[in-house]
Amino acid sequence: MQAQHQPQVASRNQATIARLLLAANSAYGESNRPDNSYTQRVEARAESRQLLAQVMELSHENAAAWGLLGRLEMDDGNLDTARALFERSLDINPDQPQQYTNLGYWALACERPALAEQYFQEALQRDRQSAAAFCGIAHAKRRLGQFDVAYLHYRKLLQLDLNWPSVCAGMVACAGHLQVDRADQELAYDAITLLSRDDVAHQELGRFAAGILCQQYDLDNPNAAVLLEAAAEDELLLLALEKTLMPDARIENLVTLLRHAILAEIAQTATLRDDMHRLAAAIALYADRTGYALLVSDAEERLLDAINNSIRAQFAMGERQEDIAGSLMISALYGALFHQSFAVDIGRWNLTEWPVGLQPLMAASYYNRAMEEAIKQPFEEKAAELTRERADVPQAWPTWQTLSHHSESSLKAVMKAKLGLNTDSLPDTLRIMVCGAESGQRALELAASLSDVEIVAVDESLPNIARASRTAQEMGLNHIVFWPWSLASQFIADGNQVHWLEIGRLPSEQMSSLSLAQLVDQASGQGAVVHLHTRIEGDSEADSHIRQLIRQHELPETRAALRRLRRMIINNAQDPELGALLREDDFYGAGGCHNRWFRPQDKTQLAGLINLLSNEVNWKLVRAQDSDGHSLALAPVQKQLQAEATGSNVQSVQGQPLTLYFMKRR
């Protein structure tokens, strides 16, 4: 009887273990679902741990349980413990593809992509169908800089309908590094697929789309001809115009020519063909995204004046909305409808009353601008805008369409996992200040992905503040505010402090009365983190040359002046110095050009901040990264900071492509 009883007990234990493991894996899956909240994922992780503890009470020799426990430790940032658990699992059962896959992701977390690739290959040798291992190889290849190979891996996963967020994000990241040297229909299809998705950052696809379109239309050939009809049916061109900004002079010339062709046809026929509506609206959206930086001929200006006069007459005569819509679309090709003298007449209709295909354009050209104008009104800085023509007020920059995808997390978890900081004494809600938030993308991503924060985002550009504030309202984010420097400085002067400071765009030279170092020192208490970059963007020799021209000729801060400067640069594209500007994203937006040439970042602000943070008595360097995001040894960076602070003749940290994190000691 005893001999018979033992197998029955063992069988029941095995069944119980299998049931518990199944439930633990299910809970772990819930902990990694990107659409679950951070709290839900933490609870699911805790449930998985509890179930695994029950497994361990029944058996310490279950390889799968040790492996899953390792995944939980890795997700919590305990990398050494995780590796030991994966190896313990393999000691029990050496032929587990899942554990080699786990070790591959462990190696990626440790920033060892070459080792990660080896582990993923080991997994695939045991299971050729492992999508997780195949995806891991894509990630490893991308980290190794083999973007073309990684891209093909991501493409294969998408073709298998494995639409994981990490796959799409990885494919977008690789696309920006690809050199497109021939017309390729598969690449065009990839770009269309990515631009059609709502869960990728469309603005990151601008260069990729531009490269494909340049080859597709043979834009390096001065004799190449592009027919309006062909452009109007090109889904890639239409999507790229609707959703990206393509930083390529050849594409800008193509868009300018297409816009001119549409206007010329209307001048002859007095009508806009139905099959041209989407192309015209797409170009109008694109022109709006550039801040109307596209060059305009005198003939176009004259035709546009006639069209705008006609629109005023149409409104005066009380014509129907559908009879005015086509004319508004043409006017929006060259300027924001909100800036026109007939703008008040547009406001008689709600956005949803316009034809569906026209609503994105009407929102960008009129309704969003009206909302942003209302947001600006309470700020003292609005008075300076009133001295300018509406069209000369700088547009929000950088331009972006979609936030990058980040699963919800907590700032305390980031501080613990990424910086190794103890967060036990921190309050439930932490305050972040983003200094130099620009048009708000980074600040909004933090607000959307961190569950335990409130955010104060600061910028000197009212258009940036208004655009970001409007977007926050549309997203339903009520724990973030966007303020000018004057309001943020008063907030800190009143004794308020923050737990995390991100330094984005530095104050411009026109804000010499502000000391960024002093504000950071006052805003940070013991344990606060400062995150900054040590290279100033938009500070090339060509930019200095342009700023010198502006001073010499006393050029005003107007859109017309920016267009003249851009025309000069485009006409001198062969000049090594000026031609370099054509490779900069900023060049393709009026806001970017305005920032670089009329509001350059103040180098002395960064120097003062680095000098403050170099004081080892008060500040501790806790992390350093290179331009690729790889962590660096802290001792050499700290030594360089100290040598620079004491006046030694060493290469300055300022200007190097580093990302540094400091913690305030006291």
Q: Is the pLDDT score of 8 beyond 60?
A: no
Helical H segments across 270-379, by residue range: 277-289, 298-316, 321-331, 343-346, 359-362, 368-376
What average pLDDT does the segment 35-61 reach?
91
Q: What is the model's pLDDT at position 11?
A: 65
Does 459 share its domain with 483? yes
Give me the chain's average pLDDT, please.
94
Q: Residues near 562 by Cβ (< 8 Å), separated by ≥ 6?
A: 293, 590, 593, 594, 597
CA distances from 525 to 149, 513, 514 (A): 46, 23, 20
CA atoms of 147 and 144, how far apart (whole Å): 8
Does 569 share its domain with 618? no
Cis amide prior to 398 (ω within 30 degrees): yes
CA atoms of 258 and 231, how far apart (whole Å): 8
Print the domain residue range for 565. Answer: 541-598
What average pLDDT does the segment 283-295 reach?
97
Within-domain flag for 93: yes
Does 584 share its domain with 469? no
Does 496 share its domain with 577? no
What average pLDDT does the segment 93-99 reach?
95
The vertex-627 CA angle with 625 and 631, nearest 5°, equals 20
Q: What is the model's pLDDT at position 145?
A: 95
Q: Is the pLDDT score of 7 beyond 60?
A: no
Within-domain flag for 203: no
Within-domain flag for 549: yes
Closest CA to 458 of 509, 413, 507: 507
Q: Is the pLDDT score of 641 beyond 60?
A: yes
Within-domain flag for 301: no
Q: What is the model's pLDDT at position 1?
A: 44
Q: Are strands 619-625 and 430-435 parallel, antiparallel or unpaired?
A: unpaired
Does 572 share its domain with 610? no
Does 482 share its domain with 560? no
Of 118, 142, 166, the position where a domain reaches its end is: 142
Q: Is the pLDDT score of 644 beyond 60?
A: yes
CA atoms of 666 and 663, how far apart (whole Å): 9
Does 619 share its domain with 492? yes
Does 53 share its domain with 90? yes
pLDDT grade, residue 630 (50/70/90)? confident
Of 73, 108, 142, the position where a domain reaches its end is: 142
Does 587 share its domain with 499? no
CA distances from 298 to 101, 295, 303, 305, 328 (A): 63, 10, 9, 11, 20
Q: What is the model's pLDDT at position 629?
A: 86
pLDDT tens digits, 456-466:
999 999 999 99
Tokens of 66: 């040790």
Chain mean position to CA 608? 28
Within-domain flag for 225: no
Does 433 share its domain with 571? no
Within-domain flag for 305: no
Does 11 share its domain with 105? yes
Q: What is the model's pLDDT at position 328?
A: 96
Count of structural domains within the chain: 3
Q: Is the pLDDT score of 636 beyond 80?
A: yes
Q: Is the pLDDT score of 387 beyond 50?
A: yes
CB 79 within 8 A of CB 109: yes
Give the CATH number of the domain where residue 7 resides. Answer: 1.25.40.10
| Model pTM above 0.95 | no
Within-domain flag for 245: no
Give the CATH number of the domain where residue 626 resides. Answer: 3.40.50.150
Within-domain flag for 24: yes
Does 589 share its domain with 465? no
CA atoms of 475 and 480, how far apart (whole Å): 11
